[in-house]
Structure 1
Amino acid sequence: MTAPRTTAARFVATHTLLTLDARHPYVAKSLIDAQDMHRTVMSGFRGWVDDGSADARSQMAVLSTWTLNLREALLSLVVQSQVPGDWSRIPRAALAEEAVTLTLDRTFRIGDTVDFRTVVNPVRSLPPPSGSPEKTRGARVPHTRPDHVRTWFTRRLQPLGEPSVVEATGLTRLGADAHPDDLGVRMLPQVSSPSPHKGLRLTRAEIRGKLTVTDPAVFVQVLTRGLGHGRAYGCGLILVR
């Protein structure tokens, strides 16, 4: 017997907006090195988990996204987490403005409509070559065209009454629905990391539009944990209003 679907779910998190001087060396390094940007984000959460924990970001549900205003040389970095951050380790001269921290506490119900923006790492997995050892993972291939990114996102939409997981593929859905033609998609510059992370190259795309909540518990889980791959490097955070 299928359990009844939750009609409402509560989302609680901390959001911090950091406005940084893109000309400062501390910030400039983060812009050219995705691993350094990750360290900048995680520097606000020391002490919450044991040093060296492999899943520290996941334990604290830390997600982030950023935009760069080249004309004004400002980097706007939004960090979401389940624990409060301490940003005193960022050099004061690198901050163009004081950090702004908000506590989000919102209950979502079936039928609620929200505007959203997210930056994702849209990839598909290819099967491993024939004859590969058991449990060999297939290669991840990025989508580089807006229409393919729209299809990638649309597959994760969850119409009202449908399950949160697609049985045939195991794909986890969003807990929300949208009209694909109303989604705005824009390809963003790739981010990467030089040595010793030469293999780190992430294709990114921005998606904007409106979502209608169809499964509040699943929707809150996705808001909390993020969407897709690359969540340690500024992808997967869904901002709603």
Structure 2
Amino acid sequence: MNTNTTASDVSSGAGRAARFVAAQTLLTLDARHPFVGKSLIDAQDMHRTVMSGFPGWVDDGSPDPRARMGILSAWTVDLRQARLNLVVQSSLPADWSGIPRAARAERPEHLAVDRTFRFGDRVTFRTVVNPVHSVPPPPGSPPKTRGTRVPHTRPEHVKGWFVRRLQPPGEPAIAPDGVTRIGADADTDRIAVRMLPTVSSPAPHKGLRIARAEIKGTLTVTDPTAFVAALARGIGHARAYSCGLILVR
């Protein structure tokens, strides 16, 4: 997403306010339809469903089209009503005509978001994240060997993962350990964490397993520009697989 558009400081003073502009769509789909059912059991197919709303905006084979179009998503399932509720955010308008009409339980709801956030604003939020930490390679590994990403599996560890990304007033947007902060602080005692089922993908994506956790609470904006960047870009890993989108109201 073009941060000059979505994270621009406004006239109240540099760094004291920033504007967030995005398109959001709520898709309510029939979880019993085969098109939708495939997305629920295959994380890669869910990714394709999300990306199907943006045909023609970038050339085929272009690197990282999701990030270039500012696409983030999050979903929940209502088992009682057999509904998949999918929220898709982007910097470009979406076209959902490629989703079979019979798979749509309701017409897509489109929302143009244009909101200015100021220092001290309070918002309630919900996000689904992929809470992982890196384990260094074992001693004796070849040079430049990367560490292994290991998911947190306990709510208290997920909360710690999120708290590291909070930004108390006066703190920089990048923490001393290199973690990118979200431009907001919170009462950590009031942050709620719920572990969610892992999603995966069969062949040819064997080994793809995305650990997930839902985090809810209230945020106080401390760095509007950094906060808008977090809203636009998402947080953490697996953003191509419906993790990292911060929904606020």
Structure-1-length-normalised TM-score: 0.97
CA distance in 2, matches of 1:103, 1:230: 25
Q: Which residue of 2 aligns with 1:118?
A: 127
Q: Is the 1:9–1:216 Cα contact (8 Å) retained in structure 2?
A: yes
Q: Which residue of 2 aligns with 1:9?
A: 18
CA distance in 1, matches of 2:71, 2:155: 27
Superposition RMSD in Å: 1.0
CA distance 1:149–1:97, shift in 2 (3 Å): same
Q: Which residue of 1 aligns with 2:97?
A: 88
Q: Which residue of 2 aligns with 1:204?
A: 212
Moved more, 106-115 or 48-57: 48-57
TM superposition shift of 1:53: 1.7
CA distance in 1, matches of 2:53, 2:141: 42
Structure-2-length-normalised TM-score: 0.94
CA distance in 1, matches of 2:74, 2:172: 29
TM superposition shift of 1:133: 2.8
The within-5 A match list for 1:146-165 is 146-165=155-174
Tell whether 2:145 aligns with 1:140. no
CA distance in 2, matches of 1:153, 1:186: 13
Q: Which residue of 2 aligns with 1:64?
A: 73
Matched residue type, 2:33:
H
Q: Which residue of 2 aligns with 1:172?
A: 180
TM superposition shift of 1:131: 2.6
Within the candidate set 179, 186, 189, 1:181 is matched to: 189
Q: Which residue of 1 aligns with 2:221?
A: 213
Q: Which residue of 1 aligns with 2:84?
A: 75
Matched residue type, 1:171:
V
CA distance in 2, matches of 1:180, 1:149: 12
Tell whether 2:29 aligns with 1:20. yes
CA distance in 2, matches of 1:188, 1:22: 18
CA distance in 1, matches of 2:248, 2:142: 43
The DSSP-based 3-state class of the residue aligned with 1:171 is coil
Q: Which residue of 1 aligns with 2:238?
A: 230
Q: 1:97-133 CA distances to partner (integer Å, 9 max, x unpaired)?
A: 0001000000000000000000000000011222323
Q: Is the 1:5–1:215 Cα contact (8 Å) retained in structure 2?
A: no
Q: Is the 1:182–1:209 Cα contact (8 Å) retained in structure 2?
A: yes
